[in-house]
Structure 1
């Protein structure tokens, strides 16, 4: 296995790897047709086995604090994409990608990584094992049935009939909301502070 910088010609393989990696997760319908580009500098890594992209990691990072990340002081990097092809899981690929990214990030003067994920237990276990701390969460709420739509959405256009909707719930009654809608995911913010950082990090919740 080889880890290297992403190249433009990797895009098709990058997309395929991400789609397959997400199919059995809470992000199964979060499909991209092309790779994201970033306004700020980014660490973009891929893992290669036999000329196939089997893992990927994209981290957009700050040049000025709190322009991308929100949960700490110092300069942060936001993990926008991390994925491993399902045929290559449990081989330590994600951990190796993260380790390489941490080395690069600290050379660039970053102090921590921030990441958001949903409530897949095995994904959250991975973040915990990698030294990330859970610092915040809210709910992703999908309105997918006619009953959910009718009792939630009130519009001023009588001939416009919503079929689906997506919302953020940032209140305290999370369990109540989970009882009201069929598809609800907890969206969890993780933070990993680099242990050899010279800047003391204090979460700002």
Structure 2
């Protein structure tokens, strides 16, 4: 069974006289379930006034679909200060990640494109001041209304989505 403790308590429980390797380590911004060998998941939430953003949520390959991410999110929600009124997260085109956020009530709030200029992509439209040469690579943003055009011109185009979850006075 996984339990939730501070990092100091986790260290004591994990390496003390009766080690318990299945603890969750809490720090200011992250929670990490720990099994006997390794960290199996982490969530990092940045809080800025009334808004909070999931900067990172990840589970160790091979541990997905075992409830680790769900446990992390549920516990993190309990730790949000009462002043937080919204929690958001940003994703790309990963259908599983998008469905996971939607399952917890997150709704898409905004989207835009990440566009990468790579070898073989057209340099048409790039204006570069002298004495600089044309770009070799570039990373750009574009409005989602330009997706068809961007996909025709560039090999790497990703739809980025902001998901938003209202939080009623903290969770």
| Gap regions ≥5 residues in structure 1 | 11-41, 64-74, 200-205
Q: 2:138 aligns with which of 161, 165, 181?
A: 165
Q: Distance in 2 between matches of 1:182 and 1:55?
A: 32
Judged with a 3 Å threshold, the aligned counterparts in structure 2 of structure 1 residues 61 and 108 are, in CA distance, closer, same or farther, namely same
Q: Residues 1-205 of structure 1 correspond to what in structure 2 (within 5 A)?
A: 1-5=2-6, 42-63=28-49, 75-105=50-80, 107-148=81-122, 150-158=123-131, 160-170=133-143, 172-194=145-167, 197=168
- Higher Cα Rg, which structure: 2
Q: Distance in 1 between matches of 2:153 and 2:7?
A: 43
Aligned residues: 152
* 1:119-145 C-alpha deviation (Å, 9 max, x unpaired): 110110111111111111000001112
The CA RMSD measured in Å over matched residues stands at 2.5
SS at match of 1:175: helix
SS at match of 1:50: coil
- Kindly indicate which of the two structures has a greater share of residues assigned to strand: 2
Q: Distance in 2 between matches of 1:51 and 1:155?
A: 51
* 1:162-203 C-alpha deviation (Å, 9 max, x unpaired): 221100102622222222211100000001113xx259xxxx
CA deviation after TM superposition for structure 1 residue 81, in Å? 0.7
Q: Distance in 1 between matches of 2:76 and 2:44?
A: 9
Structure 2 length normalisation: TM-score? 0.78
CA deviation after TM superposition for structure 1 residue 156, in Å? 2.1
SS at match of 1:128: helix
| Gap regions ≥5 residues in structure 2 | 12-27
